[in-house]
Amino acid sequence: MSNSRILRRVDPFPFVPRDTAIRDKRCEEIFSIQTTGLKRRLTHVAQRLGKDQFPVSIGVSGGLDSALALLVVVRAFDRLGWDRKNILAVTMPGFGTTDRTYRNATSLIKEAKASLREISIKDAVLGHCRDIGHEFHRSGCARCQNIQARERTQILMNLAFTIGTGDLSELALGWCTYNGDHMAMYNPNADIPKTLVRFVVRRTADRDDVPQPLRAVLYDILDTPISPELEERSDATSGMQETEHIIGPYELHDFFLYYMLRFGFSSGKILFLAECANANSPGEGFSHAYTHQEIIRWLIGFYTRFGDNQFKRDAMPNGPKVGSVALSPRGDWRMPSDIELSLWIDQLNSLIGTV
Instruction: Pick the closest to residue 200 from 12, 30, 20, 341 (CA basis).
Output: 30
> For residue range 141-196, what is the model confidence (pLDDT) as tens digits?
999 999 999 999 999 999 999 999 999 999 999 999 999 999 999 999 999 999 99
Give yes or no for a contact between 316 and 329, defined as CB atoms under 8 angstroms apart: yes
In CATH, the architecture of 20-349 is: 3-Layer(aba) Sandwich (3.40)
> For residue range 2-29, what is the model confidence (pLDDT) as tens digits?
455 677 889 999 999 999 999 999 999 9
In this structure, the dihedral spanned by the alpha carbons of residues 195, 200, 203 and 205, taken in order and rounded to 10 degrees, is -110
* CA separation for the pair 241, 65 (Å, rounded): 17
* CA separation for the pair 162, 164 (Å, rounded): 6
Residue 50: exposure state from Cβ atoms within 10 A (0-12, 13-18, ≥19): exposed
Pairing outcome for strands 56-59 and 87-91: parallel
Instruction: Pick the closest to residue 74 from 84, 66, 65 (CA basis).
Output: 84
Q: What is the 3-state secondary structure (H, E, C) of the chain?
A: CCCCCCCCCCCCCCCCCCCHHHHHHHHHHHHHHHHHHHHHHHHHHHHHHCCCCCCEEEECCCCHHHHHHHHHHHHHHHHHCCCHHHEEEEECCCCCCCHHHHHHHHHHHHHCCCEEEECCCHHHHHHHHHHHCCCCCCCCCHHHHHHHHHHHHHHHHHHCEEECCCCHHHHHHCCCCCCCCCCCCECCCCCCCHHHHHHHHHHHHCCCCCCHHHHHHHHHHHCCCCCCCCCCCCCHHHCCCCHHHHHCCHHHHHHHHHHHHHHCCCHHHHHHHHHHHHCCCCCCCCCCCCCHHHHHHHHHHHHHHHHHCHHHHHCCCCCCCCCCCCCCCCCCCCCCCCCCCHHHHHHHHCCCCCC
Give yes or no for a contact between 163 and 184, defined as CB atoms under 8 angstroms apart: yes
Residues of the chain with pLDDT under 50: 1-2, 235-237
The Cα diameter of the chain in Å comes to 65
Question: What is the distance, to the nearest Å, from the Cα of residue 337 to the centroid of all Cα atoms in its chain?
Answer: 21
CA-CA distances (angstroms) from residue 13 to 172, 256, 295? Answer: 17, 10, 15
